């Protein structure tokens, strides 16, 4: 779906011929992460100013796009699989940040209980997905920006509270 809609950046795991050309975004804040639209291939140079200790981070800026949750979740899983393969070969992998919007959808975390929902999940007003994240129920919809970071905390601090 992302490829058909032309939403997959050219170096994403879902790359296709209709990929959109996205402007790079940068951040050199306290986390020392350098965000840029990039890819991991040899044709993609390391960003200028990338100092030792900073991490390259692919930033897929799709904030104006409505990406169905199922497509975004599949994309995230494919990125994680690619990162695991690179790690298994001892190769460096960049971090990733995906910014987008979803059509109306409810996601149920591992701690969610369907009985607490204000509606019958079988007759929900929008799609409902069980997820692997913690927490209860989250609504995502138009106008709400969602950021999906995919990080290897071994390159940062191995502390969930630092990350959050």
47 within a domain of the structure (yes/no):
no
159 within a domain of the structure (yes/no):
yes
Residues 148 and 127 in one domain: no
Output the pLDDT for position 30. Answer: 35
Residues 29 and 89 in one domain: yes
Residues 95 and 114 in one domain: no
Is 140 a residue whose pLDDT tops 90?
yes
Output the pLDDT for position 155. Answer: 81
Residues 36 and 117 in one domain: no
Is 72 a residue whose pLDDT tops 90?
yes
Q: Could you give the CA distance from residue 18 to residue 1 in angstroms, rounded to a whole number?
A: 12
Is 100 a residue whose pLDDT tops 90?
yes
- Region of poorest pLDDT, from 13-17, 98-102, 118-122: 13-17
Residues 8 and 74 in one domain: yes
Residues 58 and 36 in one domain: yes
Task: Please tell me the pTM assigned to this model.
Answer: 0.67
The strand pair at 137-140 and 105-108 is best described as antiparallel
Closest CA to 134 of 158, 107, 163, 111: 111
Residues 35 and 112 in one domain: no
Answer whether 92's CB lies under 8 Å from 41's CB.
no
Structure tokens at 47: 């960003």
State how far the alpha carbon of 17 is from the alpha carbons of 9, 13, 56, in Å: 10, 13, 25
Q: Could you give the CA distance from residue 16 to residue 99 in angstroms, rounded to a whole number?
A: 19
- Calculate mean pLDDT across residues 88-108: 92
Residues 17 and 77 in one domain: yes
46 within a domain of the structure (yes/no):
no
Q: Could you give the CA distance from residue 28 to residue 42 in angstroms, rounded to a whole number?
A: 23
Q: What's the structural domain count of the chain?
A: 2
Residues 2 and 29 in one domain: yes
Residue 70 banded pLDDT, cuts 50, 70, 90: very high
DSSP H stretches of helix in 35-138? 69-88
Residues 85 and 163 in one domain: yes
Residues 93 and 149 in one domain: yes
- Residue 121: give the domain boundaries: 104-140
Instruction: Break the chain down into helix, strand, coil percent, rounded to 5.
Output: 20, 25, 55
48 within a domain of the structure (yes/no):
no
């Amino acid at each position: 779906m992302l490829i058909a809609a032309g939403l997959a950046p050219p170096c994403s795991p879902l790359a296709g011929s209709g990929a959109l050309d996205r402007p790079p975004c940068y951040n050199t804040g306290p986390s020392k992460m350098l965000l840029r639209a990039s890819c991991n291939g040899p044709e993609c140079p390391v960003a200028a100013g990338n100092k030792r200790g900073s991490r390259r981070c692919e930033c897929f800026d799709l904030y104006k796009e409505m990406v169905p949750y199922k497509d975004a979740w599949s994309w995230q899983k494919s990125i994680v699989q690619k990162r695991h393969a690179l790690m298994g070969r001892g190769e460096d992998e960049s971090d990733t940040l995906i910014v987008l919007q979803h059509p109306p959808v409810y996601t149920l975390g591992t701690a969610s209980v369907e009985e607490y929902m204000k509606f019958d999940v079988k007759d929900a007003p929008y799609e409902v997905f069980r997820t692997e994240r913690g927490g209860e129920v989250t609504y995502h919809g138009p106008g709400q920006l969602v950021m999906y970071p995919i990080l290897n905390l071994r390159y940062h601090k191995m502390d969930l509270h630092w990350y959050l």
